Amino acid sequence: MLRERLDEVEDRIRRALNRSGRRRESVLLVAVTKTLPLEVIEEAYSLGLRDFGENYVQEFERKASAVSSLPGARFHCIGHLQSNKARRAAELFDVVETVDSLKLARRLSEAPARRADPLEILLEVKLGGEESKSGAGPGELPALMEAISGLPHLRLTGLMTIPPFAEDAEASRPFFQQLGQLAEGLGLRHLSMGMSGDFEVAIEEGATEIRVGTALFGPRNPV
């Protein structure tokens, strides 16, 4: 089941890359395993997947001891992170994609990381203007980036966004374009954008990472 779905996702990725003349290596597939049991990560790993996205520190904590030692596996925190969970997140994850404040960056920077190299972080950007959503506003990015550059143990590589939900993937395109322009202006190369419903559009607009759950694992049960 997973194998077939993975083949399908890989086909979709390749077709989108072909349209933009890009190579397969230029986009990272992050398998989103939030709410799914440990065995799902292990099965995905056995099929060659190495990057996994999790949303909740507490939930991942329960799986981490079993999977964090899988050789080459990398775990991305893609859910909103409260600063009181930052220390634990820095220990558990290889990448934190949802940094949206200096306070959070500082906490991540101060946490004793479980490995010697710096923690990779992305800035989450709020583009839809939705009140409830986390993410830094585009106008806050230059100052945030400047401040973060003075913090030790962090390596800022790019931007991440979640566009407002829409049935039509094309509705995400302007947001993906905007994230690309922001990253270019800031000199950042890594763009984490696109989920099951719209990752082809994201790839066409320059995504270097897509985060895919449902298209690989089927619908999730509510937490």
Among the residue ranges 38-46, 100-108, 163-171, 210-218, the one whose residues contact ligand PLP (CB under 6 A): 210-218
Greatest distance between any 2 Cα atoms in the chain: 47
Residue with smallest beta-carbon separation from ligand PLP: 213
What is the per-residue binding string for ligand PLP in 96-135, x denoting contact by CB under 6 A?
Answer: ----------------------------------------
Instruction: Decide: is 206 part of the binding site for ligand PLP (CB under 6 A).
Output: no
Is residue 193 within 8 A of residue 176, CB to CB? The reply is: yes
CB of 74 to ligand PLP, least distance (A): 15
CA distance between the termini of the chain? 23
- Nearer to ligand PLP by Cβ, of 73 and 151: the residue is 73
CB of 198 to ligand PLP, least distance (A): 9
Instruction: Decide: is 34 part of the binding site for ligand PLP (CB under 6 A).
Output: yes
d(CA 182, CA 74): 26
Instruction: Decide: is 29 part of the binding site for ligand PLP (CB under 6 A).
Output: no
DSSP 11-44: HHHHHHHHHTT--GGGSEEEEE-TTS-HHHHHHH
* Total residues in contact with ligand PLP, by rule CB under 6 A: 14
Coil, helix or strand at residue 203: helix
Task: Give the β-pairing of 51-54 and 28-32.
Answer: parallel
Instruction: Decide: is 32 part of the binding site for ligand PLP (CB under 6 A).
Output: yes
Instruction: Decide: is 178 part of the binding site for ligand PLP (CB under 6 A).
Output: no
d(CA 141, CA 165): 23
Coil, helix or strand at residue 99: strand
Sites of contact with ligand PLP (CB under 6 A): 32, 34, 55, 78-79, 162, 195-197, 211-215
